[in-house]
């Protein structure tokens, strides 16, 4: 595959955009709705009872190859005891209710954090080692990573720009304590009011936040207010929709095809948008907030190592490992608490999903869309 084409919604950025070094992204798309990639035909999410009726797959394999992780050190920041009073669901811990009024679908324990670390590596491979695509200045002064998770992106960015002050925010204190001196982590909910100074950040970074934001246009407006004139915002996210160019994935029989419909329906029920692609939400909301020089890039990421292309195969392998690291943690809240599936139904669905992801005759992939934009110099 070729490097991503890009289309600007308004005049091109004032400095050149770093170009990807190798293939894998799908073609870029305009901010207004246009033809979508070949998608699996969907008729809505199937109930959990469907998978219970199917029973376990005929063949079950050892998933020992899907365990990759690293020890996550506890934060050494001064944190009130209420933040550490995690909620527990089926033995898994989730963020404290004292931090946010909303519901975040992911656990915050070691198993989930290891998945986040592997996912960071997936995105690094996807971008050929780059941390971002926006044409940043050589010496940014202030940057923020919203929803930083375990903080790896913020740490890597701080290492790349040692004179830049980097902030990583999250609703759980799961970041390491041993970090570069120019990075700090804060426990904060980006859905609430921001307390940062206006015209402050050279770069505002968002990645994999679908299903966590109540009001995307409002979030981008907050970002615009705090972004320095000439500074950039960059957001990279998937819609959850599973695509297949050759029709090998069938919505009527494959568990993997139900991933998108289930997540999108769950998001609708709790009021958090999951599908950011079909309406070009990121591009349009950035424009509404006041950003200009909007550029969109779509990156194709296989869900398993089915591709014969070297880079795509590696991408698929690592995403397969990331998902396999904690499927029950990923699905427990949205499928169980929100959609009403039983634990048995979730476990049977996971077994079908695992079997399909190991079947290289199936060619499922996600599109990860990156959108970056600039605050006008004369703002």
What is the tens place of the pLDDT at every residue in 225-259?
999 999 999 999 998 899 999 999 998 899 999 99
Are 155 and 183 within 8 A, CB to CB? Answer: yes
Per residue in 93-132, pLDDT (tens digit) is: 554 454 445 555 445 566 777 888 888 999 999 999 999 9
Lowest mean pLDDT: which of 178-187, 281-290, 321-330?
321-330
pTM as predicted: 0.74
pLDDT value of position 109: 64
User: Residue 38: what pLDDT?
Assistant: 54
Query: Within a 13 Å sphere around the CA of 304, how many CA atoms are in the beta-carbon half?
Result: 21
pLDDT > 70? residue 181:
yes
Which residue reads 């770069």 in tokens?
A: 203
Read off φ and ψ for residue 185, nearest 5 degrees.
Answer: -115, 140
What are the structure tokens assigned to 69, written together? 């992780």
Q: Are 23 and 311 in contact (CB under 8 A)?
A: yes
Q: What would the mean pLDDT of 68-85 be, rounded to a whole number? A: 36
Question: Which alpha helices (DSSP H) does 72-151 contain, by range?
Answer: 110-126
pLDDT, residue 101, reads 53
Beta bridge partners of 8: 295
Burial of 1 (0-12, 13-18, 19+ CB in 10 A): middle
Query: What is the rounded average pLDDT of the residues 151-161?
Result: 95
| 3-state SS class at 129 | coil
């Amino acid at each position: 595959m070729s490097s991503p084409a890009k289309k600007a919604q308004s005049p091109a950025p004032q400095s050149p955009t770093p170009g990807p070094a190798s293939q894998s992204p799908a073609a870029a798309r305009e901010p207004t709705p246009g033809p979508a990639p070949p998608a699996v035909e969907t008729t809505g999410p199937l109930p959990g009872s469907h998978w219970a009726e199917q029973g376990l797959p005929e063949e079950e394999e050892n998933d020992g190859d899907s365990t990759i992780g690293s020890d996550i050190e506890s934060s050494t920041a001064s944190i009130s005891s209420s933040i550490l009073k995690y909620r527990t669901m089926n033995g898994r811990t989730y963020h404290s209710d004292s931090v946010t009024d909303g519901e975040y679908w992911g656990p915050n324990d070691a198993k989930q954090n290891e998945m986040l670390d592997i996912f960071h590596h997936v995105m690094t491979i996807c971008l050929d080692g780059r941390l971002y695509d926006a044409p940043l200045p050589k010496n940014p002064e202030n940057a923020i990573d919203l929803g930083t998770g375990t903080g790896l992106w913020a740490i890597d960015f701080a290492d790349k720009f040692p004179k830049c002050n980097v902030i990583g925010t999250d609703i759980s204190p799961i970041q390491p304590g041993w970090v570069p001196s120019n990075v700090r982590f804060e426990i904060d909910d980006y859905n609430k009011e921001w307390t940062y100074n206006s015209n402050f950040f050279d770069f505002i970074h968002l990645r994999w936040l679908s299903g966590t934001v109540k009001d995307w246009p409002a979030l981008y407006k907050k970002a615009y207010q705090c972004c320095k004139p000439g500074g950039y915002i960059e957001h990279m996210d998937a819609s959850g929709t599973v695509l297949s160019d050759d029709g090998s994935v069938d919505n009527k029989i494959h568990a993997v095809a139900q991933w998108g419909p289930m997540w999108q329906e769950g998001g609708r029920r709790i009021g958090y948008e999951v599908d950011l692609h079909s309406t070009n939400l990121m591009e349009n909301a950035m424009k509404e907030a006041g950003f200009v020089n909007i550029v969109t890039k779509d990156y194709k990421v296989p869900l398993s190592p089915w591709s014969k292309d070297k880079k795509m195969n590696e991408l698929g392998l690592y995403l397969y490992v990331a998902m396999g690291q904690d499927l029950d943690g990923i699905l427990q809240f949205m499928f169980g608490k929100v959609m009403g599936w039983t634990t048995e139904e979730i476990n049977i669905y996971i077994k079908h999903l695992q079997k399909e992801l190991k079947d290289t005759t199936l060619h499922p992939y996600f599109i990860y869309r990156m959108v970056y934009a600039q605050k006008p110099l004369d703002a």
